[in-house]
Amino acid sequence: MILEKTLDPRESIEWSVVGHDILRLDGPAKVRGAHFYLADMPFPGALHCALARSTYPHANLLRVDVDAARAVPGVVSVFTGADLAAAKDVRPTYGPAFRDQPILAIEKVRYAGEPIAAVAAETLEAAEHAASLIEASYEDLPHVQDPYEAAQQGAPVVHETFEPAGAFADLMALTGHPGTNICTHYKQRHGDAGKALAEADRVFEDTYLCPPVSHAHLEPHGVAAWFDPSGRLIIYSTTQSPFFVRADLAGIFGLALGDVRVVVPPLGGSYGGKIYDKLEPVTCLMAKVTGRPVRLHLRREEVFFTSSRHGAATKIWTGVKDGKITVRKMEVYYDAGAYAEVGPRIAQKTGSTAPGP
């Protein structure tokens, strides 16, 4: 059979979306300023959480004095890393690549701004005031801020051991490099770069330095959490990764996946800054400790402590011959900060995109 006409399904189907301009469902509410974000939502009976943070970038945590904080009217609970270490029914660490980040610092702090204690109180003012009264004693340890310097032998070591999280297929093989500050060393090769550079008519060698940069989403991170009467954990979070957060929280608190529910309200921006766990573990911990709903919303200055795009030191060699690019070699040192987070995946993706289109 020979078709004399090309069939066009649009001739016989009344398309409702394809080929039409469709109004955003959330557009009118956003234009009117009537959109409900997490901070706008009421959670009856919820306590407010505030965090006391380290003032040292790298130090042994000798003592955390919370007596004055507990005496503040309206304070319901104050919890420290020592309390966390003593808890038998809570896994104290989390993370997507390695379980390297404690919910609250235990015996050691690894960056300035790391939470060392959490306060839950009837009002935000009481919680923040109590957190400001918490005092800590430290034994200062050497630290470096340059990623290249941190990767060298003899640099002060931030983590003595690495515990792979085993959460993602592409990160399953990670082991870390104990005794160093390197959480992953990824290599990708195609052809003989050394030979091609030697044969090039000209080699361009460039170094680029990029500092860590805040994602600058308008809405800061926030979480509200509680355990219902049946023991199920309910979380409202600004996360971009609800399914990972659900799985990680189930592991932290020894729950079945079906007993953890994560709800993500409309986000006021994220750009990767709200991916994976951020405030969920500590908020859920305080909900467990108090037996009440707890909410935690960061102030803008706290966002800078919490998440940023990786800083990088990048060196690129590009060889050309007969007017064509024939070879590219690239060496990158990423600054993942005190904890690996998803840094290993960033390194892997860099290897795939380095040659260009």
Q: Give pLDDT tens digits for 253-270.
A: 999 999 999 999 999 999
- Distance from the first to the final alpha carbon of the chain: 44
CATH assignment, 40-142+216-306: 3.90.1170.50
Euclidean distance between CA atoms 47 and 225, whole angstroms: 10
Q: Pick 15 or 31 by higher pLDDT.
A: 31
Q: How many other C-beta atoms can be found within 10 angstroms of the C-beta atom of residue 341? A: 23
pLDDT of residue 25: 85
Pinpoint the residues of the chain covered by CATH 3.90.1170.50: 40-142+216-306
In sequence order, the 6+-apart residues with CB closer than 8 A to the CB of 154 are: none
pLDDT exceeds cutoff 70 at 8: no
pLDDT of the residue at 117: 98
DSSP string, 117-163: EEEEESSHHHHHHHHHH-EEEEEE------HHHHTSTTSPPS-S---
Q: Positive or negative, the Cα torsion across 170, 103, 48, 225?
A: positive
**pLDDT at position 12:** 57
> What pLDDT is stored for residue 5 in this prediction?
58
Delimiting residues of CATH 3.30.365.10 domain(s) in the chain: 147-212+310-353
CA 61 to chain centre: 23
Pure H helices in the chain: 27-32, 67-70, 81-86, 124-133, 147-150, 193-199, 242-253, 280-290, 300-306, 343-353
**122 near 72, Cβ under 8 Å?**
no
Q: Say which CATH topology domain 147-212+310-353 has.
A: Aldehyde Oxidoreductase; domain 4 (3.30.365)
